[in-house]
Every structure is written in structure tokens, then in C-alpha cells.
Amino acid sequence: MINLVGQIMMRSQDLEFIFRRWKDIKYYFPYSELGNTPKWRTAILTCMDCRIISNIFGIDDPGEVIIIRNAGSLLTFDSLRSLLIAIYEQNVETIIVVGHTDCGGCMTPPRMNQIIMNISERTNRSSDEILKILNVQTAEEAFLGFTNVENQTNETVANIKSHPLFSAVGVEVQGYIYNTKTGEMTKL
């Protein structure tokens, strides 16, 4: 356990060093010069997966796009809220939804139940108590798992396109699948 704590502390120190050095990175420019409107007037809804980095979208500098992440690139209440702010407050005109191969959001009900059990074991709380804390009845409600990335990404695109608060202002919506093995981006 002490070794793990030491590793966490070391990573924290490394992160602090990186933050202090950020201003010296060649792509840095003062954030005070940035407005809240993204240069490309685009928001990207993508997965939280660590293999998805901004470089795959061709983003070089801060201020070019808004990136919204959640497990599975889903249109959830929070991503809906973020997209509405992006459109109505930050002048976004295009939304790009990017799913990816080998997504952790692809999970069956038994796997979602196993996650609840894992949480239960690590927190010493019952499964029922975990569900109550999450304000849901089932593990499926908690984790919103799906079985096919392309179908889920298409569904998210369709949900955004048909949402009355997006369609009313003519926001363009596109969907892509990023292949985590080959680096290819396929338009849906």
C-alpha cells in the first residue's frame, strides 16, 4: 500500500511539474487571448477512452474546438447540457460524434452488474445501496451499456439531429468511428 501511495504522490508531483512547464510548450499561447467561441465552431462528443487524443481530430492549439467526453460518447443529460451551452453561448454550428472500436461502454447486463459488485466490494456497501446512491434501479440504468459501437454512435447522432433544441437552429451533426488499432476514422 505504501508503494501505491508513493506512486500516486510521484504522479501528482510530475503533473504539477508539467503544469508549471506548460507555458514553455511550443503550442502554448496565453489563455487570456482566447475567447469562449471555438475557432472551428465545432463541438466533438467523444468517449473518455485514453486512446482518443485531440491530435486524431487535427487539433493543434487550445481554442479550436470544444471536446465533450463521457463513457461511450452518449447523449446523456450532462453532454446535452454541455452541447446546449456550446451552441447557444459559444456559437457552435457543428457537432461531431466519435465512437471507437474496443469501447468499454460496450457491455452486457452481467458485466454492468459485475461493476456494481466491484464497487460494492471496494466500498463495503451493498449493491442496493450503490444503486440508491446512483439514483437508479438497475446497473443498466447506471452504466447505459450497449453492444454495438456503430449502432450506438448512429443512435447518438440521430438523437442529436432530432432533438428540438438542436434541430431548431440547424446544427450540422456528423458521426465517426475511430479505429483504436489502425488510427482510421470512418464516417458513418
Q: Look at residues 107, 92, 66, 83 and name the one whose alpha carbon lies nearest to residue 165.
A: 83
Cα gap 95→87, rounded to integer Å: 9
Q: Summarize the confidence of residues 128-151 as an average pLDDT.
A: 93
- Residue 84: predicted pLDDT: 96
Cα gap 65→94, rounded to integer Å: 10
* Domain residue ranges in the chain: 31-106+146-187
CATH superfamily assigned to domain 31-106+146-187: Carbonic anhydrase (3.40.1050.10)
- For residue 136, is it left (φ>0), alpha (ψ between -120 and 50) or beta? beta
Q: Look at residues 112, 101, 118, 107 and name the one whose alpha carbon lies nearest to residue 153.
A: 101
pLDDT (tens digit per residue) in 68-115: 999 999 999 999 999 999 999 999 999 999 999 998 888 999 999 999
pTM confidence score:
0.80
Q: Is the pLDDT of residue 180 over 60?
A: yes
More confident residue, 53 or 42: 42
- Residue 117: predicted pLDDT: 96
pLDDT (tens digit per residue) in 9-39: 446 566 666 666 655 555 555 566 777 788 8
Cα diameter, the chain: 56
